[in-house]
A and B are shown apart, each in its own frame.
Chain A
Amino acid sequence: MRALFLVSTVLFWIVVAAAWVSALRPLAPAPSDVSAEPRYVLADIAQHGSVDDCWMAIDGVVYDFTAYLPEHPTSPRVMAAWCGKEASEAYHTKTRGRPHSSYADGLLPAWRVGVLAAEP
């Protein structure tokens, strides 16, 4: 058990450090069709963190869900909690570990307002 603790802890920190080092590398040039879109950082999205002005970032794309909130099938409270935030995990794991349906995926482009840029 001691060995499992030590090995898992060391591996964990090695992977975290590797992710941090990789994030320090300069970004590859974005594809032209994406670079034409407005780019927002998480701080920009955080300024739209209410039910009256609700932006979210999902998988690197920024959406404005303000007009969509009342139409969401579950309680608006569930979705409102993610306004102004990076919500990829919530979108993909919804409940019981299931992602949103392909129908929901199809709805997303209608609310797209830009792409997520890395923090400066």
Chain B
Amino acid sequence: MSAALSALRGLAAPGLLLALPAACLIWAWPVELHGWRAVAIVSAWAGTALLVGSTLLMVRAARLAALFGGLDAQYRWHHLGGTVAYALLLAHPLALAAAAWQESPRLAWEVLSPWAQHWTVWLGWAALGLLMVGLAATFSLHLPYRRWRALHYLAGAGVVAGLIHAWTLLAQPGPLALLLPLAALALCWRLIGSDLGLAARPYRVRSVAARAAGMIEAVLEPCGPRMAVSPGQFVFAAFGDGPGFRGCGEFHPFTVSSIGDDGALAVGIKALGPCSRHVQGLTPGVAVRLEGPFGRFLADRADGPQFWLAGGVGITPFIAALRAGPLQQPTTLLYFYRSAQDAAYLEELRSIAAADACLTLVAEAAAGPPPTLDVRLSEVPGLGARQAQLCGPAALVEAARGALLSHGMPAAAIHFERFDFR
């Protein structure tokens, strides 16, 4: 894929977040209003449009994610758009109060005081309160996933309450006639299509094998149309019920570790949370729903000599690429794992390296960002001319990125995808 197309994809999400507020402000620009009242109008429209843009970027669909340059990029813009929208919407009642302050401080308080108002204004306050709680949960990274998700849904309710507040206050709906259905569609798609799995494809577990301590590999066979997946991509999977197993039914992302000619996919599942710990007891015959595929990791691996770095379960996309056939480019794979029990696929990797002259494997036990990283990098021949593909814990990826830059590798040659979709 050309660099120009990649750059265009990178602009799609910010373009959406700029276009929606711009269109609304062109329509609603307060030409005859000045001062704080004009600020109130501008902040309300810009915040509302940005909030709807952010809601659209929350939709989890493979084609949409590809359009926006990947699910990780899409979600980053979703977070940025939502947070800026929230700040703008907080400014709206404050600007109205500031305008009233010019009359009297008491009038300013009556503008802010919900019990001096009626239900349409209460809806606006409810929207701000729901967004406040939803965003507070978003930024509470230590919340358990299920509680985090339940609280984050409140932000979606805040979007609906805010749009109804605006709709009921305005004599003419104007851009709201577009924003309200767009937001409703996006929320319905996310809730019904993604989270309840209506848009997911049915698969069934064919086999399960332990690959390391607290990590299994499950082979999933299609029960209907198969998914076209490339090595390096991941899917969202929700494991249901089957013989001797009751699934948690939640969708979680898992990287594909193998792609069969018959449409079967293997995924690596590391026990990282309550659901993935439970899935370690998976049995053949369990029904699975899959969404995806997502991601472009390793998509450009044929472009030149490669340097691959994997940490722990981050080895999964690389084993998928190696299982897909002999390498086309000289490749050095640096694989760090905590201990011998955690070294998933190590024997298989050694066998592939022995058979494929293009692959140089360096495997090393290390807890956390390894102290030998700099030494190992200096041992890679022609490192500066290679394309680096990094996959592993965030701390390792960040340390490796800094080390690669200090070894003279251009930033554009360093590729990684974030795998935390909160």
Contact = CB atoms under 8 A, between A and B. Distances in A.
11 contacts: A5-B87, A9-B136, A23-B110, A42-B110, A60-B103, A89-B169, A90-B169, A97-B28, A98-B31, A118-B104, A118-B107
B19 to A, nearest CB: 19
A60 B27 contact: no
B109 A23 contact: yes
Interface in A2-38: 2, 4-6, 8-9, 11-12, 15-16, 19-20, 22-23, 25, 27
A72 to B, nearest CB: 11
A9 B80 contact: no
Nearest to A90: B169
Nearest to B138: A5
Contact of A4 (B83, B107, B118): B83
B169 A94 contact: no
A19 B109 contact: yes
A27 B107 CA distance: 11
A93 B31 CA distance: 11
A1 B81 CA distance: 10
Given A9-B132, A42-B116, A96-B27, A19 B105 contact: yes
Interface residues of A, number: 38
A72 B136 CA distance: 45
B172 interface: yes
Given A2-B139, A12-B90, A89 B96 contact: yes
Given A4-B87, A5-B86, A23-B106, A98 B33 contact: yes
- The CB with the most chain A CB atoms within 10 A, among B27, B169, B171, is that of B171
Interface in A65-107: 74, 78, 85-86, 88-90, 92-99
Nearest to A89: B96
Nearest to B83: A1
Contacts, number: 108
A59 interface: yes
Interface size classification for chain B: 35 or more
Contacts of A118: 104, 106-107, 110
Given A8-B87, A90-B169, A19 B108 contact: yes
B212 interface: no
A98 to B, nearest CB: 6
Contact of A20 (B29, B33, B109): B109
A78 B116 CA distance: 21
Contacts of A96: 27-29, 172, 174
Contact of A119 (B45, B84, B116): B116
Interface string B91-116: 00010110011011111111111001
B30 interface: yes
A32 B40 CA distance: 33
B316 to A, nearest CB: 29
B41 interface: yes
A6 to B, nearest CB: 8
A2 B87 CA distance: 12
Contacts of B97: 15, 19
Contacts of A6: 139
A116 B132 CA distance: 33
Contacts of B27: 96
B289 interface: no
B135 interface: yes
Interface in B168-186: 169-172, 174
Nearest to A98: B32
Given A9-B132, A12-B94, A85-B118, A97 B33 contact: yes
Interface in B109-165: 109-113, 116-118, 132, 135-136, 139
Nearest to A26: B106
Contacts of B323: none
